[in-house]
Structure 1
Amino acid sequence: MKRMIGLIAILVAFLGVAFFQEGGVKTAAPQEVKKPTIGILQTMSHPALDQITKGTIDQLKKRGYVNGKTAKIDFENAQGDQSNLKSMADRFDNEDTDLNIGIATPAAQSIANANKTTPLILGAISNPKSAGLVSNYKHPGGNITGVSNLTPTNDQIRLVREIMPNVKELGVMYTSGDPSAAAEVKVVRQVAPKYGFKLKEFTVSNSSDVDQVAQTMLQQVKAVYVPTDNTIATAMQTLVKDANNAHVPVFPPAGTMVHDGGLATYGINQYQLGVATGNMAADVLQGKAKPATTPIKIIAKGDLVLNMKEAKLLGINIPTHLVNEASKKGEIIR
């Protein structure tokens, strides 16, 4: 009797399993959620670009994309080498990344050339149109959208005039092969005469040219303006050294370059550019936005950054109203 009861129990258990598996309530095994692969390519190392990348990765983390846990973030730095940019962008394509981010124009261009379908988020590209990345800011229409940092050129040139009221010759140094820098210089040509400056232009091909070109320039001008230019940014210490020897101030485009010895600027917060980039990337990954229909986000307002150490070194008096402004909303380096 006990044996029969046991057989019946086994049969009932077997039928119960069959019921749940085939005819009754099906219990699906939990499936592992695919971790998206995010490719981030940075053109080269210097403080401004490093801050953009940091802001991007930090914001991705806040939005739920934690490297090694909920996402794979494949970060590459080409260190200014064009062949590195191409090979790294090609590797992202071969790796079949889910989304790519280009930090600075050359990186974004390399990714765009390597892949025409995977979403590409521009990480603070100053002039996406001149760079050939998009033709319409409001309706990009392809696989590319992102963040553009529109340099507040008028404010920056006005700042030069406020600090240097008697200067007539203003030098500008930029890389001849950088389309974004060249586009900014076109604006400078229009703005500089409005503030009474005679503009003198000097170009370099690479960072190794900066020392020689700077020494030539500094014999002809009493103030130097630098547009958004990654090559000049990497050689900022060289430019500042030569300028300090000539007692000529340098007015750079970013606050990070004021920390490197520039005198003053109205600079866009580089970290916040990265935050905006990370948000756009997360929106695309989460299906909340599509690159083709997401307008380029243009950030154009900068805060005043003053380097009082540099002003003292060069014997330049910063107007009180500017010091007050930087104290309230901006930054003062002492």
Structure 2
Amino acid sequence: MISFTVLLAAFLLFAFFNTGKTTQSSQADSKTQKIYKIGILQLMTHPALDQIHAGVLAGLKQEGFVSGRNLKIDYENAQGDQSNLQTMSSKFANEKDDMTIGIATPAAQALAKAANGQTPVILAGITDPVGGGLIKSNARPGANITGTSGESPLKSQLDLIKQILPKAKTLGIVYTTSDHGGSYNAKKMAAIAKAAGYQVKLYTISTTNDMQTIAEKMVSQVQAVYAPQDNGVASAMKTLVNVANQSKVAVFPAVDTMVQAGGLATLSVNQFTLGKESGIIAGRVLKGEKTSTYPLTFVTRGQMAINTSEAKILGITLPNSVVKQAQTKGEIYK
């Protein structure tokens, strides 16, 4: 008869070897896990684009892709320089990244050109990607590109201007000539405002250095200013606000980060949410979804954002309904 001691020894020996095999198997799985490489190209540094970038990382994480574990991220910031965009996007293509992500239209366009229909390109909050030549249609993008679009709720933003400044009849709109998204938003808002009875005056800048001169001219001719979702205008927001404040002209921007920088109020699409949706799409494409048939995702619902310090500077009393909406479902900057 086999003694209890012998049975116990046999059991422990079996457990030892079985555990060893499991550990070796786990180590082998860890060593063979694919590390995906993603290139992220951002046009420039300003709060809205930075929020999109942070959202992209959060979306990737939600889909199980984490930098340092199964993901290697190569991040580049072109600092608004077109030649940098070309160089950086070409670098990603030469290094054969598994995917690239473009933050702002010029960055996405540079990546699309460098990828040449091969490597997946994910759009992060791009305005009018069809008009920008990036995709064939929103429902079926085609080829290697898909992602998110964050068009501003323009009619709601105009209604907000009317609610806060009911006597204003002349609206100035400023945009950057080289920014497709900015031009698209500005001209679309101009059409909506004209249909609503406003006299609209359009102003353009080529670079942020132009803002001082153009803003001085604009505020002498209008009763309110609309600053669209435009990277050049966003970067020069403080200059625009400083000039407008001297003439007591309110600036209504497209996004909440521009309200934080001195704009009076807006109904803004959340930029972090836009980025997160793009990160989720990127993760799903890495898992096997096809960019060509993955419909573009739109984030269009705005959240109220107000700047109470700016209201005091301008001598404007914000309607209670606007303040309440910002308190309950939005942002108040002081």
Closer, same or farther: CA 195–99 of 1 in aligned 2, 3 Å: same
Aligned match of 2:190: 189
Instruction: Give 1:30 shift.
Output: 7.8
C-alpha contact 1:161 1:195 (8 A) present in aligned 2: no
- CA–CA distance in 1 between the matches of 2:124 and 2:235? 18
1:214-249 CA distances to partner (integer Å, 9 max, x unpaired)?
001111011100111000101111111111111111
Change over 3 Å in CA distance of 1:260–1:286 after alignment to 2: same
Equivalent residue, structure 2, for 1:25: none
Aligned mates of 1:304, 1:120 — CA distance in 2: 32
Q: Which residue of 2 aligns with 1:104?
A: 104
Matches within 5 A, 1:43-122: 43-115=43-115, 116-122=117-123
- CA root-mean-square deviation: 1.3
- 2:281 corresponds in structure 1 to 280
Matched, 1:249 2:250: yes
Instruction: Determine helix, strand or coil for the equivalent of 2:298.
Output: strand
Query: For the structure 1 residues 165 and 142, does the alpha-carbon distance in structure 2 shift closer, same or farther, using more than 3 Å as the test?
Result: same
* 1:294 to 2:311 alignment: no
Q: Secondary structure at the match of 2:32?
A: coil
2:127 — aligned with what? 126
Q: Is the 8 A contact 2:148 2:297 kept in 1?
A: yes
Check conservation: 1:254, 1:268, Cα contact below 8 A.
yes
CA distance in 2, matches of 1:242, 1:81: 26
Q: Corresponding residue for 2:224?
A: 223
Shift in alpha-carbon separation, 1:138–1:90, aligned structure 2, 3 A: same
Kept in 2, the 8 Å contact 1:130–1:180? The answer is no
Shift of 1:321: 1.2
Pair 262,96 (structure 1): closer, same or farther in 2 beyond 3 Å: same
SS in 1 for 2:178: coil
Shift in Å, 1:31? 5.4
Cα separation, 2, equivalents of 1:246 and 1:30: 63
Alpha-carbon shift at residue 64 of structure 1 (Å):
2.2
Distance 1:222 1:190 in 2: 18
- Structure 1: how far apart are the matches of 2:107 and 2:134? 11
Give the letter aligned to residue 46 of structure 2.
Answer: H
The answer to whether the 8 A contact 2:141-2:292 is kept is: yes
TM-score (norm 1): 0.89
Amino acid at match of 1:203: T
Gaps of 5+ in 2: 1-27
Distance 1:50 1:121 in 2: 16
- Once the two structures are TM-superposed, the CA of residue 190 in structure 1 deviates from its matched residue by 2.0
Provide the C-alpha distance between the structure 2 equivalents of 1:82 and 1:63, rounded to a whole number of angstroms. Answer: 32
Residues of 1 paired with 2:319 and 2:162: CA distance? 11
1:30-67 deviation line (CA, Å, top 9, x unaligned): 85222010110000000000000011112212322221
Asked if the contact 2:174–2:186 (Cα under 8 Å) also holds between the matched residues in 1, the reply is no
Equivalents in 1 of 2:66, 2:191: separation in Å? 45
Question: What amino acid maps onto 2:69 in structure 1?
Answer: K
Matched, 1:214 2:215: yes
Moved over 3 A (4+): 28-31
Within 2, Cα distance between the matches of 1:148 and 1:195?
26
Please state if 1:202 is matched with 2:203: yes
Q: Aligned pair in 2 of structure 1 residues 329, 29: CA closer, same or farther (>3 Å)?
A: closer
The number of equivalent residue pairs is 306
> Could you tell me whether the CA contact under 8 Å between 2:134 and 2:145 is conserved in 1?
yes
User: For the structure 1 residues 195 and 318, does the alpha-carbon distance in structure 2 shift closer, same or farther, using more than 3 Å as the test?
Assistant: farther
Please give the alpha-carbon distance, in whole angstroms, between the structure 1 residues aligned to 2:232 and 2:219: 19
Single out whichever of 181-190 and 312-321 deviates more from structure 2: 181-190
| TM-score, length of structure 2 as denominator length | 0.89
Q: Which has the larger radius of gyration?
A: 1
Structure 1: where are the runs of 5+ without partners?
A: 1-27
> How high is the sequence identity, in percent, across the aligned residues?
46
1:19 is matched with none
Amino acid at match of 2:237: M
Give 1:262 deviation, angstroms.
0.3
Amino acid at match of 2:71: A
Deviates more, 1:30-39 or 1:315-324: 30-39
Residue 137 of structure 1 corresponds to 138
SS in 1 for 2:200: strand
Q: Is the 8 A contact 2:63 2:284 kept in 1?
A: no
Secondary structure at the aligned position of 2:108 is classed as: helix
State which drifts further: 72-81 or 183-192: 183-192
**Contact 2:173–2:190, Cα closer than 8 Å, also in 1:** no
